[in-house]
Amino acid sequence: MSGKLYIVGIGPGDKDLRTLRAQRVLEESQVIVGYNTYLKLISDIIEGKEVIGARMKEEVFRANVAIEKALEGKVVSLVSSGDPQVYGMASLVFDIIARRGMTLDVEVIPGVTAGLAAAARIGSPISLDYASISLSDLLIPREEILKRVESAATGDFVILLYNPINKPLLEETMSIISKFRSPETPVGIITKAYRQGEIKEVTTLRDWKKYENEIGMVTTIIVGNSRTYNAGNLVITPRGYERKYEL
């Protein structure tokens, strides 16, 4: 008899930013599966449950074991940081189920993404159209990533950069963006948003490299568009009200 598989977004890490639905689902689950770092972020709620942890690059193992436990008739939560559809586990789980022709009750529980959390820490930089791009080239060729970066830059989107751990790729990315943006374009560099040890810097496209040593896997970089501006330590992208109304 099949059980139930929840793919749960736990948000950026702070307990207060979990959704009520995510909290209830985790409480109801008999089995919790996740990357070890994510399990530490929900340590307050997993005591007494069957917990299956995994290391980085073991996503396929996590997906398979969560599916297997659900097929055994258990209620299972497979956790992702942020939202499970945004560079998380949802796609992999559904892909495996579809390829194998399996029947399983699966529900995605959305969560606050790293991009939303990082943006909130520096004002309102993503109030208009934005593009989200992962700089992880473990699964996607760098040429494909850079093509997307150029498309976002030419389209004047605010750009959210996830997983900027590959420094040569990050530098090439920022170089491409710099061809289409002013050197004074605001750049936010936020590490561990809403987690212990959070670091946030507001700089410009010209000066971002001053903070390159602070950038890691849990950093989100936000590059403004042509209308984004700094106001003290805030980064603001106007929605266009100033074009029609007296502010």
- Domain end, chosen from 112, 130, 161, is at 112
Q: What is the pLDDT of residue 56?
A: 84
User: What residue spans of the chain are helical by DSSP H?
Assistant: 20-28, 36-41, 59-71, 90-100, 114-120, 142-154, 167-178, 241-244
Does residue 226 share a domain with residue 162? yes
Same domain, yes or no: 107 and 15: yes
What CATH number should be reported for the domain holding residue 106? 3.40.1010.10
- Asked if 10 and 35 sit in the same domain, the reply is yes
Please check whether residue 176 lies inside any domain of the structure: yes
Q: At residue 5, what is the residue type?
A: L
pLDDT, tens digit, for every residue of 76-101?
999 999 999 999 999 999 999 999 99
- Name residues whose C-beta falls within 8 Å of residue 92's C-beta, 6 or more positions apart in sequence: 59, 60, 63
Whether 147 is covered by a domain: the verdict is yes
- For residue 247, tell me if it sits in a domain: no
Residues 93 and 18 in one domain: yes
Q: Domain ends where: 112, 138, 169? A: 112
Query: What is the C-alpha separation between 140 and 166, in angstroms, rounded?
Result: 13
- For 197, counting Cβ atoms within 10 Å of its Cβ (0-12 exposed, 13-18 middle, 19+ buried), the class is exposed
Q: What is the pLDDT of residues 52-67, one digit of tens each?
A: 999 888 999 999 999 9
> Looking at the structure, do residues 125 and 215 belong to the same domain, yes or no?
yes
Domain extent, residue 150, equals 115-236
pLDDT means per 10 residues in the chain (247 residues)?
91 95 97 95 92 92 97 97 96 96 96 97 97 96 98 98 97 98 98 95 97 95 97 93 87
Count, residues in the chain: 247
Among 92, 112, 132, where does a domain finish?
Answer: 112
Q: Are residues 108 and 141 in the same domain?
A: no
Q: Is residue 141 part of a domain?
A: yes
Query: Parallel, antiparallel, or unpaired: how do β-strands 219-223 and 158-162 relate?
Result: antiparallel
- The answer to whether residue 243 sits within a structural domain is no
137: CATH: 3.30.950.10
- What confidence tens digit (pLDDT) does each residue in 132-157 have? 999 999 999 999 999 999 999 999 99
Give the total number of structural domains in the chain.
2
172 and 231 share one domain: yes
Nearest to 168 by CA among 192, 137, 206: 137
The single-letter code of the amino acid at 195 is: R
Q: Tell me: do 102 and 136 sit in the same domain.
A: no
Q: Let me know whether 108 and 121 are in one domain.
A: no
107 and 176 part of one domain: no
Residue 92 lies in a domain: yes
Determine, yes or no, domain membership for 210.
yes
CA distance 129 to 237: 10
C-beta of residue 92 within 8 angstroms of C-beta of residue 59: yes
Check: pTM over 0.75? Answer yes or no: yes
**Is the same domain home to 207 and 129?**
yes
Asked if 99 and 25 sit in the same domain, the reply is yes
